[in-house]
């Protein structure tokens, strides 16, 4: 499972960071998923290997412009590139009207069908090798997190047990792996549940939208390897600005991640005020990092545009580029 940040700034783009978007590739998948689509996301994609022909679904966390203004242009470009595969868009109910009206009013025609799934009623979405669930958050407009859980975990035969039971490598092993009825040499059936190793833990990641209450993700993070969450401010700045912005601060997210024991945490969606390191009294991104480290003992990363991370089958998580 791979994650590539396409935008990590909140509200407005800066010279180094675009507004929110993240590409996720599921295990063993050629296609990919887009989570949020701030303005200019299609420009960012031009600098990555991700193709609009292989985009399997789009998940929008909430309707603020820095998370969805890039969608009409991205869809129109996919159309001009002769995409023909249907595309699923998951997001708050107003997303459909926003997209359809933007396309209609700009006389844009798509040569591929769009299907909209309102996140408010989404129970579960499955595609490729992932299952996606939505989790309501707390923000100025309805906002959601999406959890991506690996499906189709490979099954492994218990070789030692088979051999001990007098079933040597041969056609019966192939039949077991294919899920077909298998028999011993004397013709008696082999109970397949007796000869498979317990499946490994599925890879699971939780990707939050804007949110001022990380505690809402406690259940979503149960068994998760990775949480990606906004950290727009430091705690002091968040307190100075008051609760009306309804964003998280680094300390709050870090304390939550520590409490629920999620082993990997990536902070993103940084206020532009932190993006000019150190000069003129500007605090710099490092301020957010230092604050989070005080409260979180796991693997902490601060997202950058075009940074890629990999989560392996064994649950190892690291930056790939
Ligand atoms: Zn927002």
pTM of the entire predicted model: 0.93
Residue 84 has which token pair?
A: 């023909």
Burial class (CB in 10 A: 0-12, 13-18, 19+), 153: middle
Closest CA relative to residue 24, chosen from 68, 67, 55 = 55
How close is the Cα of 253 to the center of ligand 1, in Å?
Answer: 16
Longest dimension (CA), the chain: 83
Number of H helices, E strands in the chain: 9, 15
How close is the Cα of 20 to the center of ligand 1, in Å?
Answer: 10
Burial class (CB in 10 A: 0-12, 13-18, 19+), 115: exposed
pLDDT band at 174 (very low <50, low <70, confident <90, very high): very high
Average pLDDT over all residues of the chain: 94
Cross-strand pairs, 59:
35, 90
Residue 22 has which token pair?
A: 């993240």
Confidence (pLDDT) at 190: 92
Q: Strand, helix or coil at 103? A: helix
How close is the Cα of 62 to the center of ligand 1, in Å?
Answer: 7
How close is the Cα of 221 to the center of ligand 1, in Å?
Answer: 21
How close is the Cα of 124 to the center of ligand 1, in Å?
Answer: 23
Percent helix / strand / coil, the chain, rounded to 5: 30, 25, 45
Q: Strand, helix or coil at 37? A: strand
Average pLDDT for residues 72-101, to the nearest whole number? Answer: 97
Which residues are designated catalytic?
Answer: 66
What radius of gyration, in Å, describes the C-alpha atoms of the chain?
A: 22
Give residues whose Cβ lies within 5 Å of ion ligand 1.
64, 210
Residue 202 has which token pair?
A: 């599925």
How close is the Cα of 140 to the center of ligand 1, in Å?
Answer: 7
Confidence (pLDDT) at 169: 94
Hey, what domains does the chain have and what are their CATH numbers?
2-153+200-319 (3.60.15.10), 159-194 (no CATH)
Closest CA relative to residue 92, chosen from 31, 128, 50, 134 = 134
Higher-scoring residue by pLDDT: 181, 274: 181
Confidence (pLDDT) at 32: 97
- pLDDT tens, residue by residue, 207-259: 999 999 999 999 999 999 999 999 998 898 888 888 888 999 999 999 999 99
- pLDDT tens, residue by residue, 254-268: 999 999 999 999 999
> What percent of the chain clears pLDDT 70, i.e. is strictly above it?
98
Confidence (pLDDT) at 144: 98
């Amino acid at each position: 499972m791979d994650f590539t940040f396409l935008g990590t700034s909140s509200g407005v783009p800066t010279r180094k960071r675009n507004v929110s978007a993240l590409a996720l590739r599921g295990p063993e998948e050629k296609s990919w998923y887009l989570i949020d689509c701030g303005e200019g996301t299609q420009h960012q994609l031009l600098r990555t290997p991700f193709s609009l022909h292989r985009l399997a679904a789009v998940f929008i966390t909430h309707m603020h412009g820095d998370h969805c203004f890039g969608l009409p242009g991205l869809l129109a470009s996919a159309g001009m590139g002769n995409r023909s595969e249907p595309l699923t868009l998951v997001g708050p109910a107003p997303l459909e009207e926003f997209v359809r009206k933007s396309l209609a009013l700009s006389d844009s025609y798509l040569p591929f069908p769009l299907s909209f799934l309102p996140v408010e009623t989404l129970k579960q979405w499955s595609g490729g090798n992932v299952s996606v669930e939505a989790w309501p958050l707390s923000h100025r407009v309805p906002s959601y997190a999406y959890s991506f859980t690996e499906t189709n975990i490979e099954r492994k035969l218990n070789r030692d047990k088979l051999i001990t039971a007098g079933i040597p490598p041969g056609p019966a092993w192939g039949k077991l792996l294919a899920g077909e009825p298998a028999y011993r040499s004397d013709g008696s059936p082999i109970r397949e549940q007796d000869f498979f190793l317990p499946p490994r833990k599925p890879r699971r990641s939780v990707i939050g939208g804007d949110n001022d209450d990380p505690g809402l993700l406690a259940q979503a993070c149960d068994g998760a390897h990775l949480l990606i969450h906004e950290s727009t401010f430091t705690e002091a700045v968040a307190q100075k600005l008051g609760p009306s912005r309804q964003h998280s601060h680094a300390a709050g997210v870090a304390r939550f991640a520590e409490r629920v024991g999620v082993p990997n945490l990536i902070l993103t969606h940084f206020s532009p005020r932190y993006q000019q390191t150190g000069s003129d009294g500007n605090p710099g991104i490092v301020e957010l990092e230092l604050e989070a480290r005080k409260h979180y003992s796991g693997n902490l990363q601060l997202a950058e545009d075009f940074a890629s991370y990999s989560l392996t089958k064994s649950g190892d998580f690291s930056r790939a580029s």
